[in-house]
Amino acid sequence: MMRDPGRAGRWTLVLVATAMLALAWSGPEAAIAATKPRAVMIVPFDASALDPEDRWVGEGVEEILGLGLAQHPAFVQVDRARMRSVGRVEAWGEPVVAQTARALHVDAALFGRVERQDGDYVIQPRLLEIKGSGGEPIALDPIIVAPTELLARLATLPGIYARTLKVTLTEPEARKMEKAAMPTRSLKAFEHYARGTMAMSQKPGQDGNEAAADLLARAIEVDPNFVVAHYTMGIVHQELGNRWKAAAQFRASIQLDGTYPESHKALGDLFLAAPRRLFDQAVEAYDKAIQLRPFYAEAWVGLGEAKAAKGDVDGAVGAYTKALNYNPINPRVHMSLGKIYYAEKGLYYESVTAYKKAIELDPTSVEARMGLGEVFEDKGLYKEAMEEYKRVIELDGKHTGAMYNLALVYEKVDPKEAVAQWERYIALASQLPSEKDWVDVARQHLRKLKSQIKD
């Protein structure tokens, strides 16, 4: 039996019979469904030519683009966690943008450069559309703006990019996009906010989050009505493990603007992870986020997980189906599809295909590689299983689950190597209280193997 008990119990039921993608929708949802989503990568504009105290502007442009384009179903944004998986980037110039965009399988990359000229900011937006193995960056018209007008002018940039990508915007859509792209009228508050998001992205972990919390607090002090800053502060507290502070910030942002869907979705995430199993509250929060933004793919994913946790299988499948429709390149969805195909349906080839698609989209996904390794192991494909477990250990040298499973597979093909693998696992896992029971089992395996080899 494999080491991870979650394969039977923790696998979240996800997604989706292929035929269900042909669901008939009507009304506004039909128009959204007819919009082909495009995966876009938005990166900080290269501000290396600016003085150090001004370089936050490059991060600020990225934030404004993200806030604006989130309002339209044509754009699926690659999250920062996946962008970080390709390595830290000091300045997003054309070569690294092109390489990263192709690695992440996006349709377009939004990037550019910021300079100063006679006291004004010079914003030079660029766009790279990925077309097969080619695609040349194009330069959009530069924006030359005084600091006092920076926020108002940048708020028009998401619409400019949308039209350059040949996305038709109605007047209400353009107004909504521009409004979202100007989350505060205070340049100082926005500077603190941008510096805070820089701290989160450049120094992942506790130090970066603590620095971000301080900067976001300053942004909120300057503009107490800065909804996005309250929400982002909640995300920081969540990363720091301060669940109650996170919930307070999300609720504060909702009190200021009940139509901001990200805060409702974030509350749903907190409810879903709560020790007291607040699944009904999670469903309610996700439903509200979806009501506000019907094409909010991550809220559909959360809704699916909450419904699955409640035992509502049909509801979970329906929610994950919508998530896939609005974001077809979400590796989590393909990974979850691999789980359900094998664990629930017994469909080996479909499961392997889904896991491989998840890994293609996110080569750093240890969950997808673990799932694929377990399918191979179950089918007796030990060489293939070992390759996946070894890849997990390369990605995460402290992944005890992969080390345990690898030792089990070695028992079947190379008992001497299994002894060494069990010893490596025990050396690491014996330091972790949560691994105590598994370490006891591992020691039994090790004694048995040494006895067999001696005989």
When pLDDT is averaged across residues 384-411 and rounded to a whole number, the result is 95
The rounded distance, in Å, linking the Cα atoms of 219 and 122 is: 24
pLDDT, residue 23, reads 34
Which of 212, 242, 272 represents a domain boundary (last residue)? 242
pLDDT, residue 392, reads 96
Q: What is the CA radius of gyration of the chain?
A: 24
Q: Supply angle C-alpha 126, 131, 134, rounded to 5.
A: 80
User: Does residue 211 have a pLDDT over 90?
Assistant: yes
Does residue 278 sit in the same domain as residue 386? no
The answer to whether residues 180 and 145 touch, using CB atoms and an 8 Å cutoff, is no
pLDDT, residue 70, reads 96
Q: Could you give the C-alpha distances from 214 to 59, 90, 194, 246, 384, in angstroms and in order?
A: 17, 23, 12, 14, 47
Which residue would you say has higher pLDDT here, 343 or 429? 429
pLDDT, residue 277, reads 86
Does residue 57 sit in the same domain as residue 86? yes
pLDDT, residue 27, reads 46
The rounded distance, in Å, linking the Cα atoms of 184 and 206 is: 27
When pLDDT is averaged across residues 52-62 and rounded to a whole number, the result is 96
User: Does residue 380 have a pLDDT over 50?
Assistant: yes
For the stretch 299-358, pLDDT in tens is 998 998 898 888 887 787 788 778 888 988 888 878 877 887 787 778 899 889 989 999
3-state class percentages of the chain: helix first, strand second, coil last, to nearest 5: 65, 10, 25
Which residue would you say has higher pLDDT here, 318 or 179? 179
pLDDT, residue 384, reads 96
Residue 336 included in any domain: no
For the stretch 19-42, pLDDT in tens is 333 333 344 455 565 578 889 999
Of the pLDDT bands very low, low, confident and very high (cuts 50, 70, 90), residue 232 is very high
Does residue 58 sit in the same domain as residue 147? yes
CATH classification of the domain holding 418: 1.25.40.10
Which residue would you say has higher pLDDT here, 318 or 237? 237
The answer to whether residues 45 and 113 touch, using CB atoms and an 8 Å cutoff, is yes
When pLDDT is averaged across residues 377-393 and rounded to a whole number, the result is 96
The rounded distance, in Å, linking the Cα atoms of 370 and 235 is: 28
Angle between helices 400-413 and 382-395 (to 10 degrees): 150
The rounded distance, in Å, linking the Cα atoms of 166 and 382 is: 49
Does residue 85 sit in the same domain as residue 61? yes
The two three-digit tokens of residue 365, written as one number: 């996904």
When pLDDT is averaged across residues 183-192 and rounded to a whole number, the result is 98
The DSSP secondary structure of 376-424, one letter per residue, reads HHHTT-HHHHHHHHHHHHHH-TT-HHHHHHHHHHHHHH-HHHHHHHHHH
Burial class (CB in 10 A: 0-12, 13-18, 19+), 82: buried
CATH classification of the domain holding 313: 3.40.50.10070
**How does the average pLDDT of the chain come out, rounded?**
88
**Amino acid identity for residue 387 in this structure:** E
The rounded distance, in Å, linking the Cα atoms of 115 and 333 is: 40
* Cα atoms in the Cβ-side hemisphere of radius 13 Å centred on 47: 20
Query: Which residue range is the domain that position 148 belongs to?
Result: 34-184+243-323
Q: Give how many domains the chain has, as a whole number.
A: 3
Does residue 279 sit in the same domain as residue 238? no
When pLDDT is averaged across residues 139-158 and rounded to a whole number, the result is 96
Does residue 230 sit in the same domain as residue 203? yes
Does residue 272 sit in the same domain as residue 139? yes
The rounded distance, in Å, linking the Cα atoms of 389 and 384 is: 9
pLDDT, residue 8, reads 33
